[in-house]
Amino acid sequence: MAKVKTAYVCNDCGSDYAKWQGQCSDCGAWNTLSEIRLGPARSTKAASGGGRRSGFAGALAQARVLEEIDLADLPRFSSGAEEFDRVLGGGLVPGSAILVGGNPGAGKSTLLLQTMCHLAKSMEALYVTGEESLQQVAMRAQRLGLPTDKLRLMSETSVEAIIAAAEQYKPKVLVVDSIQVAHSEDISSAPGSVSQVRECAAYLTRFAKQSGTVLFLVGHVTKDGSLAGPKVLEHMIDCSILLEGSHDSRFRTLRGQKNRFGAVNELGVFAMTEQGMREVKNPSAIFLDRSSEPASGSAVMVVWEGTRPLLVEIQALVDDSQLGNPRRVAVGLEQNRLAMLLAVLHRHGGLQLGDQDVFANVVGGVKVLETSADMALLLAIVSSYRDRPLPRDMVIFGEVGLSGEIRPVPSGQERLSEAAKHGFGRAIVPKANAPRSPIKGMQVIAVTRLEEALAAID
């Protein structure tokens, strides 16, 4: 009987050690090492000879001269949804591994089931579910009105059985829902553990690379919104996308966090309906669903998400504080940046808000990560403090420096063009982003200092 070996793996970064220690030497985390049992290693004869893995594990790697490698574009193909293709970088790449994460009920399985039913009409596709029965998936497909005559469906959690089925049917697209319930027979730990997730993901990714199969792995997220499992999981795959959305809203945002074949932080917008996930062609329209009456503390900004501009409303509320330490709350924005911008507003705008509670919110659940929202946020705060509504046809964007200067942001011309398409007639922008030729129907106010921006709204 072969001797069972043990190892200690860090739950945060996936590094392994021969014996237990209090701190992980790679990531510096404390008390994150857990013991796992490793199966006996296969002999070279067994790996290259018989057994059910012979067709996959026995393949010999061949090296090629760098000059001989074809530099033609990768043959992408569409997933059937433009918003999905946008986040993926233009479509699906053969041999790529894609990790789709999100909260329970966000719509991960629904989106992938719709995509697989569409792709199955023109190519071989295999959907493997480990969390639901075949009847449950079939009931969802029937409820959504999807074509079910081509897609192959399989209920399995063993990664060896999944690979054996993939070698038999040779699908061009493979979905494993989810990686947390998959397990390998060579590892004695329970499904969902660090070792199981790491080894199963590595095994499936290696199969996808060698066979040219597009692999979708469904992953769960933790309470803080990060993907569950070892960090090494994100390094194995080619693309990591996150499906976000609150339960009280029917809109879902699909954001790219890592992509070897396209832009990072690309954003796709979907709406959850009775017929499943429907892509939103014009996201700016849903984020600009404002009230008919002018309201103080509301401003419209133009943010850049991936490869396109997006018009989003930002709201601010300034109120007398009843606490000794006034609150600074930011939803959809970085809270530390809000505190910094309030200090800039006090120093260079002459507005003291030290005794006021300040709340900031990005409408629609969008998370703004770039600094182009600085000037819009400050002007919305000033509008709420003075109780003076900003013009409804005005858009604002620009970065605010610590010395009160207004810095330019990338793609200023494209942002203004997008605002003009939605009927906005005025814009406050950094001077470096002012258009060289006038934009028809739009008055552009170019500013270089925060004082000039405040004077423009008086």
pLDDT in tens, 439-455: 888 999 999 999 999 99
pLDDT at 190 (0 to 100): 81
User: pLDDT tens-digit profile of 100-122?
Assistant: 998 888 899 999 999 999 999 99
Q: Answer whether 92's CB lies under 8 Å from 203's CB.
A: no
> Over 90: is that where the pLDDT of 145 sits?
yes
Q: How many CA atoms lie within 13 A of 190 on its CB side?
A: 2
Residue 162 CA to residue 173 CA, distance in Å, equals 13
Task: State yes or no: 365 annotated in a binding site.
Answer: no
For tokens 């059937």, the residue is 80
Q: Which of 62-76, 103-117, 378-392, 412-426 has the lowest average pLDDT?
A: 62-76
DSSP letter for 30, please.
B
- Beta-carbon neighbour count of residue 341 at 10 Å? 24
Mean per-residue pLDDT for 53-71?
A: 67
Residue span of the structural domain in which 339 resides: 286-456
Given this model, what pLDDT does residue 64 score? 83
Report the run of H or E that residue 70 belongs to, with start and end. Answer: none
- Asked whether residue 373 falls in the same domain as residue 234, the answer is no
Enclosing H/E stretch for 331: strand 328-331
**What's the total number of domains in the chain?**
3
Q: Are residues 33 and 93 in the same domain?
A: no
Judged by DSSP in three states, 419 sits in helix
Q: What is the CATH number of the domain that holds 200?
A: 3.40.50.300
pLDDT above 70 covers what percent of the chain?
Answer: 91
Q: Alpha-carbon distance 295 to 291, whole Å?
A: 8
**Rounded Cα gap, residues 87 and 307, in angstroms:** 10
Would you say 332 is a known binding-site residue?
no
132 residue type, one letter:
E
Say if residue 102 carries a ligand binding annotation: yes
How confident is the model at residue 52, as a pLDDT? 44
- Residue 2 annotated as lining a ligand binding site: no
pLDDT at 50: 43
Whether residue 260 sits in one domain with residue 150: yes
Grouping H, G, I as helix, E, B as strand and the rest as coil, residue 414 is helix
CA 196 to chain centroid: 24
Q: How confident is the model at residue 285 (pLDDT cuts 50, 70, 90)?
A: confident
Kindly state the tokens that stand for 429. 């922008």
Tell me what pLDDT residue 119 has.
Answer: 96
104 is in an annotated binding site: yes
Residue 31 annotated as binding? Answer: no
- Answer whether residue 79 shows pLDDT above 60: yes
- 75 appears as a binding residue in the annotation: no
202 assigned binding-site residue:
no
pLDDT at 306 over 90: no
What is the rounded average pLDDT of the residues 4-23? 80
- Determine, yes or no, domain membership for 238: yes
pLDDT, position 53: 45
Looking at the fold, whether 306 and 439 belong to one and the same domain comes out as yes
